[in-house]
Structure 1
Amino acid sequence: MLTAVSRNVACKAPMSMQVRNMATLKEIQQRLKSVQNIEKITKSMKMIASTKVAKAQRGMETARTFGVASNSLFANAETKAAEDSKLLYVAASSDRGLCGGIHSSVSKATRRAIEQHPDALVAILGDKPKAQLGRVVRNNIAISFNQIGKDMPSFEEASSIVDTIKEQGIEFDSANIVYNKFISVVSYEASVIPAYSQEAFKASPNFAVYEIEDDVLANLQEFSFANSLYWAMVEGHAAEMCAKRAAMENATQNAGEMISKLTMTYNRGRQAVITNELIDIITGASAL
Protein backbone atom coordinates (compact mmCIF):
# COMPACT_ATOMS: atom_id res chain seq x y z
CA MET A 1 0.00 0.00 0.00
CA LEU A 2 2.76 2.37 0.89
CA THR A 3 4.57 1.50 -2.30
CA ALA A 4 1.53 2.34 -4.41
CA VAL A 5 1.09 5.71 -2.70
CA SER A 6 4.74 6.64 -3.18
CA ARG A 7 4.52 5.74 -6.86
CA ASN A 8 1.46 7.92 -7.34
CA VAL A 9 3.20 10.85 -5.69
CA ALA A 10 6.31 10.30 -7.80
CA CYS A 11 4.20 10.26 -10.95
CA LYS A 12 2.32 13.45 -10.06
CA ALA A 13 5.36 15.52 -9.01
CA PRO A 14 6.77 16.15 -12.52
CA MET A 15 3.32 17.21 -13.74
CA SER A 16 2.98 19.81 -10.99
CA MET A 17 6.53 21.11 -11.52
CA GLN A 18 5.92 21.35 -15.25
CA VAL A 19 2.75 23.37 -14.75
CA ARG A 20 4.46 25.58 -12.19
CA ASN A 21 7.36 26.37 -14.55
CA MET A 22 5.17 27.21 -17.54
CA ALA A 23 5.08 30.98 -18.16
CA THR A 24 1.74 32.60 -18.85
CA LEU A 25 1.23 35.16 -21.61
CA LYS A 26 1.08 37.94 -19.03
CA GLU A 27 4.43 36.93 -17.54
CA ILE A 28 6.02 36.79 -20.99
CA GLN A 29 4.59 40.20 -21.80
CA GLN A 30 5.98 41.68 -18.58
CA ARG A 31 9.35 40.12 -19.25
CA LEU A 32 9.31 41.49 -22.79
CA LYS A 33 8.51 44.98 -21.55
CA SER A 34 11.34 44.90 -18.97
CA VAL A 35 13.88 43.73 -21.58
CA GLN A 36 12.74 46.51 -23.92
CA ASN A 37 13.33 49.05 -21.14
CA ILE A 38 16.79 47.59 -20.53
CA GLU A 39 17.55 47.90 -24.25
CA LYS A 40 16.62 51.59 -24.17
CA ILE A 41 18.91 52.17 -21.19
CA THR A 42 21.89 50.34 -22.67
CA LYS A 43 21.41 52.10 -26.02
CA SER A 44 21.40 55.49 -24.26
CA MET A 45 24.52 54.58 -22.27
CA LYS A 46 26.23 53.50 -25.49
CA MET A 47 25.45 56.86 -27.09
CA ILE A 48 26.76 58.74 -24.04
CA ALA A 49 29.97 56.68 -24.01
CA SER A 50 30.40 57.26 -27.76
CA THR A 51 30.30 61.02 -27.26
CA LYS A 52 32.85 60.78 -24.46
CA VAL A 53 35.28 58.61 -26.45
CA ALA A 54 36.29 61.40 -28.84
CA LYS A 55 36.89 63.84 -25.98
CA ALA A 56 38.85 61.24 -24.03
CA GLN A 57 41.06 60.44 -27.00
CA ARG A 58 41.90 64.11 -27.56
CA GLY A 59 42.85 64.52 -23.91
CA MET A 60 44.85 61.29 -24.05
CA GLU A 61 46.98 62.51 -26.97
CA THR A 62 47.83 65.73 -25.13
CA ALA A 63 48.62 63.98 -21.84
CA ARG A 64 50.71 61.36 -23.64
CA THR A 65 52.82 64.05 -25.30
CA PHE A 66 53.64 65.73 -22.00
CA GLY A 67 54.14 62.40 -20.26
CA VAL A 68 56.62 61.08 -22.84
CA ALA A 69 58.55 64.37 -22.69
CA SER A 70 58.68 64.18 -18.89
CA ASN A 71 59.84 60.55 -18.84
CA SER A 72 62.53 61.24 -21.44
CA LEU A 73 64.34 63.14 -18.67
CA PHE A 74 64.80 59.92 -16.70
CA ALA A 75 65.59 57.95 -19.84
CA ASN A 76 68.40 60.33 -20.87
CA ALA A 77 69.76 60.40 -17.33
CA GLU A 78 69.64 56.57 -17.27
CA THR A 79 67.75 56.58 -13.98
CA LYS A 80 67.23 53.14 -12.50
CA ALA A 81 66.00 51.90 -9.16
CA ALA A 82 68.44 49.99 -6.96
CA GLU A 83 67.76 46.38 -6.09
CA ASP A 84 67.03 47.18 -2.43
CA SER A 85 65.03 50.33 -3.17
CA LYS A 86 61.60 51.11 -1.74
CA LEU A 87 58.87 50.43 -4.29
CA LEU A 88 55.45 51.97 -4.60
CA TYR A 89 52.83 50.65 -7.01
CA VAL A 90 50.00 52.97 -8.01
CA ALA A 91 46.97 51.09 -9.37
CA ALA A 92 45.23 53.72 -11.52
CA SER A 93 41.60 52.92 -12.34
CA SER A 94 38.19 54.36 -11.38
CA ASP A 95 34.97 53.88 -9.41
CA ARG A 96 32.69 53.17 -12.37
CA GLY A 97 31.48 49.77 -13.50
CA LEU A 98 29.82 48.38 -16.64
CA CYS A 99 33.08 48.61 -18.58
CA GLY A 100 34.26 45.04 -19.06
CA GLY A 101 37.56 43.93 -17.58
CA ILE A 102 39.13 47.38 -17.22
CA HIS A 103 39.54 47.17 -13.45
CA SER A 104 40.52 43.50 -13.43
CA SER A 105 43.34 44.21 -15.88
CA VAL A 106 44.96 46.75 -13.53
CA SER A 107 44.32 44.61 -10.44
CA LYS A 108 45.85 41.48 -11.95
CA ALA A 109 48.96 43.35 -13.12
CA THR A 110 49.40 44.92 -9.69
CA ARG A 111 48.90 41.58 -7.96
CA ARG A 112 51.56 39.94 -10.14
CA ALA A 113 53.99 42.76 -9.34
CA ILE A 114 53.34 42.45 -5.59
CA GLU A 115 54.05 38.71 -5.79
CA GLN A 116 57.55 39.55 -7.08
CA HIS A 117 58.07 42.34 -4.50
CA PRO A 118 56.14 41.42 -1.32
CA ASP A 119 57.45 44.45 0.62
CA ALA A 120 56.21 47.03 -1.88
CA LEU A 121 53.48 49.50 -0.94
CA VAL A 122 50.32 50.06 -2.99
CA ALA A 123 48.34 53.23 -3.64
CA ILE A 124 44.94 52.62 -5.24
CA LEU A 125 42.93 55.04 -7.36
CA GLY A 126 39.29 53.97 -7.51
CA ASP A 127 36.90 51.84 -5.47
CA LYS A 128 36.74 49.01 -8.02
CA PRO A 129 40.43 48.03 -7.87
CA LYS A 130 40.39 48.61 -4.11
CA ALA A 131 37.71 45.95 -3.69
CA GLN A 132 39.64 43.53 -5.88
CA LEU A 133 43.09 44.13 -4.40
CA GLY A 134 41.83 44.37 -0.81
CA ARG A 135 41.12 40.65 -0.79
CA VAL A 136 44.69 39.73 -1.80
CA VAL A 137 47.21 42.45 -0.85
CA ARG A 138 45.38 44.13 2.02
CA ASN A 139 48.57 44.51 4.11
CA ASN A 140 50.40 46.29 1.27
CA ILE A 141 47.78 49.01 0.74
CA ALA A 142 49.17 52.30 2.05
CA ILE A 143 46.51 54.70 0.77
CA SER A 144 43.47 54.69 -1.49
CA PHE A 145 41.44 57.33 -3.30
CA ASN A 146 37.82 57.34 -4.46
CA GLN A 147 35.59 59.65 -6.51
CA ILE A 148 37.81 58.79 -9.47
CA GLY A 149 36.54 58.56 -13.04
CA LYS A 150 33.35 60.61 -12.79
CA ASP A 151 34.66 62.99 -15.43
CA MET A 152 37.75 63.58 -17.52
CA PRO A 153 40.82 63.47 -15.22
CA SER A 154 42.64 66.76 -14.80
CA PHE A 155 46.21 67.67 -13.92
CA GLU A 156 44.96 69.36 -10.74
CA GLU A 157 43.45 66.05 -9.64
CA ALA A 158 46.73 64.23 -10.28
CA SER A 159 48.65 66.94 -8.39
CA SER A 160 46.31 66.62 -5.42
CA ILE A 161 46.89 62.85 -5.31
CA VAL A 162 50.67 63.36 -5.37
CA ASP A 163 50.45 65.97 -2.60
CA THR A 164 48.33 63.61 -0.47
CA ILE A 165 50.83 60.79 -0.91
CA LYS A 166 53.62 63.12 0.15
CA GLU A 167 51.67 64.44 3.15
CA GLN A 168 50.98 60.89 4.35
CA GLY A 169 54.72 60.29 4.56
CA ILE A 170 54.78 57.44 2.04
CA GLU A 171 58.41 57.11 1.05
CA PHE A 172 59.61 55.41 -2.13
CA ASP A 173 62.61 55.32 -4.41
CA SER A 174 60.67 54.13 -7.44
CA ALA A 175 56.95 54.43 -8.15
CA ASN A 176 55.41 52.22 -10.83
CA ILE A 177 52.06 53.49 -12.08
CA VAL A 178 49.97 50.57 -13.34
CA TYR A 179 47.33 51.67 -15.84
CA ASN A 180 45.45 50.51 -18.95
CA LYS A 181 47.40 51.49 -22.05
CA PHE A 182 45.13 52.52 -24.91
CA ILE A 183 45.96 50.53 -28.05
CA SER A 184 42.79 50.90 -30.11
CA VAL A 185 39.07 51.41 -29.59
CA VAL A 186 38.69 47.67 -29.00
CA SER A 187 42.01 46.84 -27.36
CA TYR A 188 43.96 47.81 -24.24
CA GLU A 189 46.57 46.25 -21.99
CA ALA A 190 47.99 46.82 -18.53
CA SER A 191 51.23 48.78 -18.65
CA VAL A 192 53.58 50.60 -16.25
CA ILE A 193 54.87 54.18 -16.19
CA PRO A 194 57.89 54.62 -13.91
CA ALA A 195 58.50 57.59 -11.64
CA TYR A 196 61.48 58.15 -9.34
CA SER A 197 62.27 59.98 -6.15
CA GLN A 198 64.62 62.89 -5.82
CA GLU A 199 67.44 60.73 -4.43
CA ALA A 200 67.08 58.12 -7.17
CA PHE A 201 67.28 60.81 -9.86
CA LYS A 202 70.36 62.36 -8.25
CA ALA A 203 72.04 58.95 -8.29
CA SER A 204 71.59 58.66 -12.07
CA PRO A 205 74.80 58.24 -14.13
CA ASN A 206 74.06 61.25 -16.35
CA PHE A 207 72.54 63.51 -13.71
CA ALA A 208 75.48 65.95 -13.77
CA VAL A 209 74.64 66.92 -17.35
CA TYR A 210 71.49 68.78 -16.29
CA GLU A 211 73.06 70.92 -13.52
CA ILE A 212 69.84 71.15 -11.51
CA GLU A 213 69.80 72.79 -8.09
CA ASP A 214 68.32 71.00 -5.10
CA ASP A 215 65.30 73.26 -4.63
CA VAL A 216 64.46 73.01 -8.31
CA LEU A 217 65.05 69.26 -8.24
CA ALA A 218 62.37 68.76 -5.56
CA ASN A 219 59.78 70.65 -7.62
CA LEU A 220 60.84 68.77 -10.75
CA GLN A 221 60.34 65.42 -9.03
CA GLU A 222 56.83 66.30 -7.86
CA PHE A 223 55.91 67.69 -11.28
CA SER A 224 57.19 64.63 -13.15
CA PHE A 225 55.33 62.28 -10.77
CA ALA A 226 52.09 64.24 -11.20
CA ASN A 227 52.62 64.42 -14.96
CA SER A 228 53.12 60.66 -15.25
CA LEU A 229 50.11 60.02 -13.02
CA TYR A 230 47.99 62.38 -15.13
CA TRP A 231 49.09 60.56 -18.28
CA ALA A 232 48.12 57.20 -16.80
CA MET A 233 44.74 58.44 -15.58
CA VAL A 234 43.76 60.08 -18.86
CA GLU A 235 44.86 57.14 -21.01
CA GLY A 236 43.07 54.73 -18.68
CA HIS A 237 39.96 56.91 -18.91
CA ALA A 238 40.04 56.70 -22.72
CA ALA A 239 40.37 52.90 -22.58
CA GLU A 240 37.51 52.76 -20.07
CA MET A 241 35.17 54.80 -22.28
CA CYS A 242 35.90 52.57 -25.28
CA ALA A 243 35.36 49.45 -23.17
CA LYS A 244 32.11 50.87 -21.80
CA ARG A 245 30.85 51.63 -25.29
CA ALA A 246 31.69 48.08 -26.41
CA ALA A 247 30.03 46.60 -23.32
CA MET A 248 26.84 48.62 -23.83
CA GLU A 249 26.80 47.70 -27.53
CA ASN A 250 27.01 44.00 -26.66
CA ALA A 251 24.32 44.42 -24.01
CA THR A 252 22.05 46.14 -26.53
CA GLN A 253 22.55 43.34 -29.05
CA ASN A 254 21.84 40.70 -26.42
CA ALA A 255 18.68 42.54 -25.37
CA GLY A 256 17.57 42.70 -29.02
CA GLU A 257 18.06 38.96 -29.44
CA MET A 258 16.14 38.29 -26.22
CA ILE A 259 13.31 40.56 -27.40
CA SER A 260 13.06 38.61 -30.65
CA LYS A 261 12.88 35.28 -28.80
CA LEU A 262 10.33 36.54 -26.28
CA THR A 263 8.20 38.07 -29.06
CA MET A 264 8.19 34.77 -30.92
CA THR A 265 7.29 32.88 -27.74
CA TYR A 266 4.50 35.34 -26.94
CA ASN A 267 3.05 35.13 -30.46
CA ARG A 268 3.12 31.34 -30.39
CA GLY A 269 1.38 31.24 -27.00
CA ARG A 270 -1.20 33.80 -28.11
CA GLN A 271 -1.83 31.85 -31.31
CA ALA A 272 -2.29 28.65 -29.28
CA VAL A 273 -4.79 30.36 -26.99
CA ILE A 274 -6.78 31.70 -29.96
CA THR A 275 -6.73 28.26 -31.60
CA ASN A 276 -8.02 26.58 -28.44
CA GLU A 277 -10.80 29.14 -28.11
CA LEU A 278 -11.83 28.59 -31.73
CA ILE A 279 -11.88 24.83 -31.16
CA ASP A 280 -14.13 25.33 -28.11
CA ILE A 281 -16.46 27.56 -30.10
CA ILE A 282 -16.63 25.13 -33.01
CA THR A 283 -17.15 22.17 -30.68
CA GLY A 284 -19.92 24.01 -28.86
CA ALA A 285 -21.59 25.00 -32.12
CA SER A 286 -21.44 21.43 -33.37
CA ALA A 287 -23.01 20.16 -30.16
CA LEU A 288 -25.92 22.59 -30.55
Structure 2
Amino acid sequence: MLARRTLGRLAAQPPVLGAAPAGARNMATLREIELRLKSVRNIEKITKSMKMIASTKLNKAQRAMVAGKQYGVANAEVFKNAPPEAPAKRKLVIVVSSDKGLCGGIHSSVSKATRRLFADKEAGLEPSSPIMVIGDKSKAQLSRALPKNIVLTFNQIGRDIPTFADAAGVADLILKSGVEYDGIAIVYNKFLSAISYESAVVEVETESTLKESPGFKAYEMEDDVTKDLAEFALANAIYAALVESHACEQSARRNAMDNASKNASDMISRLQMQYNRGRQAAITNELVDIITGASAL
Protein backbone atom coordinates (compact mmCIF):
# COMPACT_ATOMS: atom_id res chain seq x y z
CA MET A 1 0.00 0.00 0.00
CA LEU A 2 2.82 2.42 0.94
CA ALA A 3 4.64 1.60 -2.28
CA ARG A 4 1.51 2.36 -4.32
CA ARG A 5 1.05 5.72 -2.58
CA THR A 6 4.70 6.60 -3.16
CA LEU A 7 4.50 5.66 -6.83
CA GLY A 8 1.28 7.65 -7.25
CA ARG A 9 2.85 10.71 -5.66
CA LEU A 10 5.92 10.45 -7.87
CA ALA A 11 3.77 10.07 -10.97
CA ALA A 12 1.84 13.22 -10.09
CA GLN A 13 5.04 15.25 -9.80
CA PRO A 14 6.33 17.19 -12.82
CA PRO A 15 9.02 15.20 -14.64
CA VAL A 16 11.45 18.14 -14.74
CA LEU A 17 11.90 21.42 -12.94
CA GLY A 18 9.48 23.99 -14.32
CA ALA A 19 7.32 21.55 -16.26
CA ALA A 20 3.53 21.87 -16.20
CA PRO A 21 1.78 19.59 -13.71
CA ALA A 22 -0.07 16.58 -15.03
CA GLY A 23 -3.56 17.48 -16.17
CA ALA A 24 -2.75 21.21 -16.57
CA ARG A 25 -4.01 22.67 -19.85
CA ASN A 26 -2.42 25.57 -21.82
CA MET A 27 0.17 26.18 -19.12
CA ALA A 28 3.52 27.23 -20.54
CA THR A 29 6.57 25.48 -19.13
CA LEU A 30 9.63 27.41 -17.98
CA ARG A 31 11.53 26.13 -21.00
CA GLU A 32 8.91 27.51 -23.38
CA ILE A 33 8.90 30.88 -21.62
CA GLU A 34 12.70 30.98 -21.74
CA LEU A 35 12.73 30.31 -25.49
CA ARG A 36 10.09 32.96 -26.05
CA LEU A 37 12.08 35.47 -23.99
CA LYS A 38 15.13 34.81 -26.11
CA SER A 39 13.13 35.28 -29.30
CA VAL A 40 11.58 38.57 -28.16
CA ARG A 41 14.98 39.90 -27.05
CA ASN A 42 16.38 39.17 -30.51
CA ILE A 43 13.44 40.95 -32.12
CA GLU A 44 14.02 43.94 -29.83
CA LYS A 45 17.64 44.16 -30.97
CA ILE A 46 16.57 44.11 -34.62
CA THR A 47 13.90 46.78 -34.20
CA LYS A 48 16.28 49.06 -32.29
CA SER A 49 18.88 48.70 -35.04
CA MET A 50 16.28 49.45 -37.72
CA LYS A 51 15.14 52.50 -35.76
CA MET A 52 18.70 53.87 -35.69
CA ILE A 53 19.11 53.28 -39.44
CA ALA A 54 15.75 54.93 -40.19
CA SER A 55 16.70 57.93 -38.03
CA THR A 56 19.89 58.43 -40.05
CA LYS A 57 18.05 58.07 -43.35
CA LEU A 58 15.32 60.45 -42.18
CA ASN A 59 17.81 63.30 -41.76
CA LYS A 60 19.09 62.80 -45.31
CA ALA A 61 15.55 62.47 -46.67
CA GLN A 62 14.46 65.72 -45.01
CA ARG A 63 17.34 67.63 -46.57
CA ALA A 64 16.47 66.21 -49.99
CA MET A 65 12.80 67.03 -49.42
CA VAL A 66 13.55 70.68 -48.66
CA ALA A 67 15.50 70.98 -51.91
CA GLY A 68 12.92 69.03 -53.92
CA LYS A 69 10.00 71.12 -52.74
CA GLN A 70 11.31 74.03 -54.77
CA TYR A 71 10.37 72.12 -57.91
CA GLY A 72 6.80 71.87 -56.72
CA VAL A 73 6.72 75.57 -55.85
CA ALA A 74 7.82 76.46 -59.39
CA ASN A 75 5.05 74.29 -60.84
CA ALA A 76 2.44 75.89 -58.60
CA GLU A 77 3.49 79.36 -59.73
CA VAL A 78 3.13 78.42 -63.41
CA PHE A 79 -0.25 76.75 -62.98
CA LYS A 80 -1.58 79.62 -60.87
CA ASN A 81 -1.06 82.03 -63.75
CA ALA A 82 -2.45 79.58 -66.31
CA PRO A 83 -5.64 78.11 -64.80
CA PRO A 84 -7.68 75.69 -66.95
CA GLU A 85 -10.95 76.82 -68.45
CA ALA A 86 -12.84 73.72 -67.24
CA PRO A 87 -11.93 70.90 -64.82
CA ALA A 88 -10.73 67.69 -66.41
CA LYS A 89 -13.03 64.68 -66.30
CA ARG A 90 -10.69 61.90 -67.36
CA LYS A 91 -7.62 62.31 -65.19
CA LEU A 92 -4.51 60.21 -65.01
CA VAL A 93 -4.03 59.36 -61.34
CA ILE A 94 -0.38 58.78 -60.38
CA VAL A 95 -0.05 57.08 -56.98
CA VAL A 96 3.35 57.57 -55.31
CA SER A 97 4.35 54.73 -52.98
CA SER A 98 7.40 52.47 -52.56
CA ASP A 99 8.47 48.83 -52.61
CA LYS A 100 9.42 48.50 -48.93
CA GLY A 101 7.30 47.69 -45.90
CA LEU A 102 7.68 47.85 -42.12
CA CYS A 103 6.60 51.51 -42.14
CA GLY A 104 3.11 51.49 -40.67
CA GLY A 105 0.11 52.48 -42.77
CA ILE A 106 1.89 54.87 -45.11
CA HIS A 107 1.06 52.81 -48.21
CA SER A 108 -2.54 52.34 -47.15
CA SER A 109 -2.82 56.12 -46.78
CA VAL A 110 -2.33 56.83 -50.50
CA SER A 111 -4.41 53.79 -51.50
CA LYS A 112 -7.35 55.02 -49.43
CA ALA A 113 -6.94 58.54 -50.82
CA THR A 114 -7.09 57.12 -54.35
CA ARG A 115 -10.26 55.19 -53.60
CA ARG A 116 -11.82 58.31 -52.05
CA LEU A 117 -10.89 60.30 -55.16
CA PHE A 118 -12.80 57.86 -57.36
CA ALA A 119 -15.74 57.66 -54.95
CA ASP A 120 -16.07 61.44 -54.56
CA LYS A 121 -18.88 62.58 -56.87
CA GLU A 122 -17.96 66.25 -56.48
CA ALA A 123 -14.55 65.59 -58.01
CA GLY A 124 -16.31 64.55 -61.25
CA LEU A 125 -13.72 61.89 -62.03
CA GLU A 126 -14.66 59.31 -64.64
CA PRO A 127 -14.86 55.77 -63.21
CA SER A 128 -12.65 54.53 -66.07
CA SER A 129 -9.85 57.04 -65.41
CA PRO A 130 -6.41 55.39 -65.67
CA ILE A 131 -4.12 54.80 -62.69
CA MET A 132 -0.34 54.52 -62.69
CA VAL A 133 1.34 53.31 -59.51
CA ILE A 134 4.90 53.94 -58.34
CA GLY A 135 5.79 51.20 -55.83
CA ASP A 136 4.73 47.59 -55.35
CA LYS A 137 2.99 48.09 -51.99
CA SER A 138 0.18 50.34 -53.21
CA LYS A 139 0.04 48.37 -56.45
CA ALA A 140 -0.94 45.24 -54.50
CA GLN A 141 -3.63 47.15 -52.58
CA LEU A 142 -5.13 48.93 -55.58
CA SER A 143 -5.05 45.75 -57.67
CA ARG A 144 -7.79 44.43 -55.40
CA ALA A 145 -9.86 47.63 -55.27
CA LEU A 146 -9.44 49.10 -58.79
CA PRO A 147 -7.87 46.37 -60.95
CA LYS A 148 -9.33 47.57 -64.27
CA ASN A 149 -7.99 51.12 -63.89
CA ILE A 150 -4.31 50.25 -63.45
CA VAL A 151 -2.52 50.70 -66.78
CA LEU A 152 1.14 51.06 -65.75
CA THR A 153 3.24 50.37 -62.66
CA PHE A 154 6.79 51.24 -61.64
CA ASN A 155 9.11 49.67 -59.07
CA GLN A 156 12.68 50.09 -57.87
CA ILE A 157 12.12 53.87 -57.97
CA GLY A 158 13.87 55.76 -55.21
CA ARG A 159 15.43 52.78 -53.43
CA ASP A 160 17.67 55.32 -51.74
CA ILE A 161 16.91 59.06 -52.00
CA PRO A 162 14.92 59.76 -55.22
CA THR A 163 16.67 61.84 -57.85
CA PHE A 164 15.35 64.05 -60.62
CA ALA A 165 16.61 61.43 -63.10
CA ASP A 166 14.18 58.91 -61.55
CA ALA A 167 11.29 61.36 -61.90
CA ALA A 168 12.28 62.25 -65.48
CA GLY A 169 12.38 58.57 -66.42
CA VAL A 170 8.90 58.00 -64.98
CA ALA A 171 7.53 61.09 -66.75
CA ASP A 172 9.05 59.97 -70.06
CA LEU A 173 7.45 56.52 -69.80
CA ILE A 174 4.09 58.08 -68.92
CA LEU A 175 4.16 60.36 -71.95
CA LYS A 176 5.19 57.48 -74.24
CA SER A 177 2.57 55.07 -72.86
CA GLY A 178 -0.16 56.33 -75.18
CA VAL A 179 -2.75 56.54 -72.38
CA GLU A 180 -5.43 59.15 -73.04
CA TYR A 181 -6.27 61.67 -70.30
CA ASP A 182 -7.32 65.30 -69.90
CA GLY A 183 -5.51 66.07 -66.65
CA ILE A 184 -3.09 64.58 -64.14
CA ALA A 185 -3.54 64.12 -60.39
CA ILE A 186 -0.63 62.93 -58.24
CA VAL A 187 -1.57 61.23 -54.95
CA TYR A 188 1.27 61.22 -52.41
CA ASN A 189 2.02 61.52 -48.70
CA LYS A 190 2.56 65.07 -47.48
CA PHE A 191 5.21 65.54 -44.78
CA LEU A 192 3.86 67.44 -41.77
CA SER A 193 6.44 66.65 -39.08
CA ALA A 194 8.77 63.87 -38.00
CA ILE A 195 5.83 62.03 -36.44
CA SER A 196 2.91 62.83 -38.74
CA TYR A 197 1.93 62.90 -42.40
CA GLU A 198 -1.24 62.99 -44.49
CA SER A 199 -2.28 62.04 -48.00
CA ALA A 200 -2.53 64.88 -50.52
CA VAL A 201 -3.40 65.38 -54.19
CA VAL A 202 -1.61 67.81 -56.52
CA GLU A 203 -2.92 68.71 -59.97
CA VAL A 204 -0.64 68.91 -63.01
CA GLU A 205 -1.74 70.60 -66.23
CA THR A 206 -1.27 68.84 -69.56
CA GLU A 207 0.02 70.30 -72.82
CA SER A 208 -3.46 70.80 -74.27
CA THR A 209 -4.70 72.48 -71.09
CA LEU A 210 -1.78 74.92 -71.10
CA LYS A 211 -2.39 75.81 -74.74
CA GLU A 212 -6.07 76.57 -74.10
CA SER A 213 -5.53 78.56 -70.92
CA PRO A 214 -6.03 82.34 -71.21
CA GLY A 215 -2.64 83.03 -69.66
CA PHE A 216 -0.81 81.23 -72.47
CA LYS A 217 -3.06 82.46 -75.27
CA ALA A 218 -1.94 85.99 -74.54
CA TYR A 219 1.54 85.15 -75.85
CA GLU A 220 2.73 83.79 -79.16
CA MET A 221 4.71 80.61 -78.53
CA GLU A 222 5.75 77.66 -80.63
CA ASP A 223 4.18 74.28 -80.00
CA ASP A 224 7.48 72.78 -78.86
CA VAL A 225 7.75 75.33 -76.07
CA THR A 226 4.41 74.34 -74.53
CA LYS A 227 5.17 70.65 -75.00
CA ASP A 228 8.55 70.92 -73.31
CA LEU A 229 7.07 72.97 -70.49
CA ALA A 230 4.34 70.37 -69.87
CA GLU A 231 6.88 67.52 -69.81
CA PHE A 232 9.20 69.43 -67.49
CA ALA A 233 6.29 70.36 -65.19
CA LEU A 234 5.24 66.71 -64.94
CA ALA A 235 8.80 65.63 -64.06
CA ASN A 236 8.99 68.45 -61.50
CA ALA A 237 5.74 67.41 -59.84
CA ILE A 238 6.70 63.73 -59.73
CA TYR A 239 10.11 64.56 -58.24
CA ALA A 240 8.62 66.79 -55.55
CA ALA A 241 6.10 64.05 -54.65
CA LEU A 242 8.80 61.35 -54.61
CA VAL A 243 11.15 63.14 -52.22
CA GLU A 244 8.32 64.13 -49.87
CA SER A 245 6.86 60.61 -49.87
CA HIS A 246 10.34 59.20 -49.21
CA ALA A 247 10.74 61.46 -46.17
CA CYS A 248 7.31 60.35 -44.90
CA GLU A 249 8.28 56.71 -45.40
CA GLN A 250 11.47 57.04 -43.36
CA SER A 251 9.62 58.93 -40.64
CA ALA A 252 6.89 56.28 -40.50
CA ARG A 253 9.47 53.46 -40.42
CA ARG A 254 11.34 55.12 -37.56
CA ASN A 255 8.11 55.52 -35.57
CA ALA A 256 7.03 51.96 -36.35
CA MET A 257 10.35 50.52 -35.18
CA ASP A 258 10.23 52.70 -32.05
CA ASN A 259 6.75 51.38 -31.20
CA ALA A 260 7.87 47.82 -31.94
CA SER A 261 10.86 48.20 -29.59
CA LYS A 262 8.60 49.51 -26.82
CA ASN A 263 6.16 46.65 -27.31
CA ALA A 264 9.02 44.16 -27.20
CA SER A 265 10.28 45.69 -23.93
CA ASP A 266 6.82 45.41 -22.39
CA MET A 267 6.52 41.82 -23.52
CA ILE A 268 9.95 40.99 -22.09
CA SER A 269 8.91 42.43 -18.72
CA ARG A 270 5.72 40.35 -18.67
CA LEU A 271 7.48 37.17 -19.73
CA GLN A 272 10.28 37.70 -17.22
CA MET A 273 7.74 38.09 -14.41
CA GLN A 274 5.88 34.99 -15.60
CA TYR A 275 9.15 33.06 -15.76
CA ASN A 276 10.19 34.15 -12.24
CA ARG A 277 6.80 33.16 -10.80
CA GLY A 278 6.89 29.78 -12.50
CA ARG A 279 10.42 29.13 -11.33
CA GLN A 280 9.54 30.07 -7.75
CA ALA A 281 6.49 27.82 -7.87
CA ALA A 282 8.54 24.91 -9.20
CA ILE A 283 11.21 25.36 -6.52
CA THR A 284 8.52 25.59 -3.84
CA ASN A 285 6.94 22.35 -5.02
CA GLU A 286 10.31 20.61 -4.94
CA LEU A 287 10.97 21.85 -1.40
CA VAL A 288 7.52 20.69 -0.26
CA ASP A 289 8.17 17.24 -1.72
CA ILE A 290 11.59 17.03 -0.09
CA ILE A 291 10.23 18.13 3.30
CA THR A 292 7.28 15.73 3.00
CA GLY A 293 9.59 12.86 2.15
CA ALA A 294 11.92 13.69 5.01
CA SER A 295 8.97 13.86 7.45
CA ALA A 296 7.72 10.48 6.25
CA LEU A 297 11.10 8.92 6.95
Structure 2 counterpart of 1:62: 67
When residues 78 and 17 of structure 1 are mapped into structure 2, their CA distance, relative to the original with a 3 A threshold, is farther
Q: Which runs of 5+ in 2 are unaligned?
A: 1-20
Structure 1 regions of 5+ residues with no counterpart? 1-15
In 1: Cα distance, 2:152 partner to 2:22 partner: 54
Write the mapping of 1:48-127 to structure 2, written as runs, cut at 5 A: 48-79=53-84, 81-83=86-88, 85-115=89-119, 116=121, 117=125, 118-127=127-136
What's the CA shift string for 1:136-194, capped at 9, x where partnerless?
A: 11111111112234211111111111111122212322100000011111111111111
Higher helix share: 1
Q: Which amino acid is 1:78 matched to?
A: P
Q: SS where residue 162 of structure 2 aligns?
A: coil
Equivalent residue, structure 2, for 1:135: 144
Report the CA distance between 1:20 and its aligned residue: 3.7
Distance 1:91 1:80, change over 3 A: farther
Aligned to 1:178: 187
Cα distance in 2 for residues equivalent to 1:231 and 1:138: 27
Q: Percent of counterpart pairs with the same letter?
A: 56
Aligned residues: 273
Report the TM-score when normalising by structure 1. 0.90
User: Residues 106 and 179 of structure 1 are in contact (CA less than 8 Å); yes or no, is this contact kept in structure 2?
Assistant: yes
CA distance in 1 between counterparts of 2:66 and 2:22 reads 60
The change in CA–CA distance for 1:101 and 1:220 in structure 2 (over 3 A counts) is: same
* Paired letter, 1:22: M
Alpha-carbon RMSD across the aligned residues, in angstroms, is 1.9
Separation in 2, partners of 1:82, 1:251? 45
* Shift of residue 133, structure 1, vs aligned partner: 0.8
1:163-202 equivalences under 5 Å are 163-202=172-211
Matched, 1:283 2:292: yes
* Match of residue 26, structure 1, among 20, 23, 31: 31
Read off the aligned partner of 1:178 and give its amino acid letter. Answer: V
Deviates more, 1:33-42 or 1:147-156: 147-156
Q: What is the one-letter code of the residue matched to 1:107?
A: S
Q: Distance in 2 between matches of 1:157 and 1:148?
A: 7
Q: Could you say what secondary structure the match of 1:134 adopts?
A: helix
CA distance in 1, matches of 2:116, 2:236: 25
For 2:199 and 2:23, the matched residues in 1 are separated by 49
The Cα of 1:206 is off from its aligned counterpart by 0.9
Question: Given the two structures, how large is their TM-score scaled by the length of structure 2?
Answer: 0.87
- Residue deviations 1:120-149 (CA, integer Å, cap 9, x gap): 110011111111111111111111112234
Partner of 1:235: 244
